[in-house]
Each structure stands twice: as structure tokens, then as C-alpha cells.
Amino acid sequence: MSSENLKLYESAGSPNSRRVRIFLAEKGISIARVTIDLGAKEQLSEAYSRINPRRVVPTLVLADGTAIGEVPAIFLYLEEIHPDSPLFGTSPKERALVTMWERRMELEGFAAVMETVRNAAAGLKGRAIAGTHDYEQIPALVERGRLRVTDFYADLEARLAELPFVAGNEFSAADITAIVAIDFAGKALNLPMPESHQASKRWYAAVAARPSMSA
């Protein structure tokens, strides 16, 4: 299905952009994309700041020019206008539970990975927090961040030993955020999911096999 009146500003290497690309692919929605060149710091430009004052990708722009930033807000909008192939369940209770689990995957997994990367990468000196303002890196956050990611892997293993997917019996937005965090931890921090985590490995194989994952 093509939603030609929607436009996504995004970047190939951005994990937050990947969360939205996978979400769209799961829904079977094709929309226009505008590449923001993070290598050239295009996200910090005046032009892009007018679209997203936090100067982060991705941003979803509607036909009337309304700009929606923040991945959970983009997920919510896309889920409402394209309810088929639900990624937040099908009832208020399920939506709340997926929202809760997606957020836990973000706070304890995704955000831990990103904080570690941003405080370690030479290219992000002075940009330790994504957003409007510039902050210096804090080396102690790198060490703590690696510990947090390890703790996240342990919690995820305990969860997936009980249920097939993060939020329960069905694949959901929570699985998207979790796998994007894990893939980025492996790539950017050389901190892959432990081989010994059997339940997580079973889950990872099932999720990674979905066609949406190459989006």
C-alpha cells in the first residue's frame, strides 16, 4: 500500500530510523523518504531544525506539513491510520502492554546502547546527547553503559524464557525496538547478545527472519 501523502526524513545508519522503516515494512506501507546525511551533520542544519527542532531523525511529515518526531509518536500515528497487521495488539489493554514493553526495551536496551555509543565515539565529542543542545561526553557513562547493556540482555533472556515475544504471544513494536538495539550494540559496541542465551537466540532467529528486517 502506498501512502503518498506521507514523507519520512531519515538516515540509513540511524537506529531510530530503522525502527520506523521496519514498522512500515511490517504494515506493508510504502512512503516517500528523504535522506538526511548524518555524516555531513545535515540533521543540525537550519533547514532540518525547522522540521524537527530536536535535530534528530526520523521525522514523519504529513500532507499538511505537520511534522511528527519521536519514534513512539510516529508508531502511534501509523498504527492509528493503518490498523491492519497490528503492532500494538487489538484492545486498549494490549495497546497499553505493548506500549509498556516497547518503552522498557527502549529505556533499558536501546537508550543504554545509544548512551554508550554517544559517550564513546570520537565523532560525537560535544554531542553526547542527541537533541537541541550540545553536552560533553562523560567517560564514566561508557563503562556504566556496557554494564547496562549486559543487564538488559539478562533481563531479556528471562522474559523470553517465559514468552515467545517481548510483549507476549505476538510479534509487536516491542520486538522491533529490542532487535534494533541488539543489532546496534553488536555493530557499534562490539557487545553482541551472549551465545549462551538460548531463549533470546530462539527469539532472535524468529524475528530476524521476517522480511521487514532488511528495511
**Residues at the contact surface with a copy of itself, assessed by CB under 8 A:** 53-54, 62, 66, 68-70, 72-74, 76-77, 80-81, 92-93, 95-97, 99-100, 103-104, 107-108, 129, 131-133, 135-136, 138, 140-141, 144, 147-148, 151, 155
CB of 159 to a copy of itself, least distance (A): 9
Shorter beta-carbon distance to a copy of itself: residue 3 or 210: 3
- SS3 state of residue 200: helix
**In the complex, minimum distance from the CB of residue 188 to a copy of itself, in angstroms, rounded to a whole number:** 21
Closer by beta carbon to a copy of itself, 92 or else 123? 92
Residue 119 near residue 145 (C-beta atoms within 8 A):
yes
Query: What would the DSSP string read from start to end of 92-145?
Result: HHHHHHHHHHHHHIIIIIIHHHHHHHHHH-GGGTT--SSSSS-----HHHHHHH
Q: In angstroms, what is the minimal distance from the CB of 205 to a copy of itself?
A: 25
DSSP 42: G
| Closer residue to a copy of itself in complex, CB, 37/155 | 155
Which lies closer to a copy of itself via its Cβ, residue 21 or residue 148? 148
Alpha carbon distance 19, 120 (integer Å): 23
Q: What gap in Å lies between CA 4 and CA 1, rounded to an integer?
A: 9
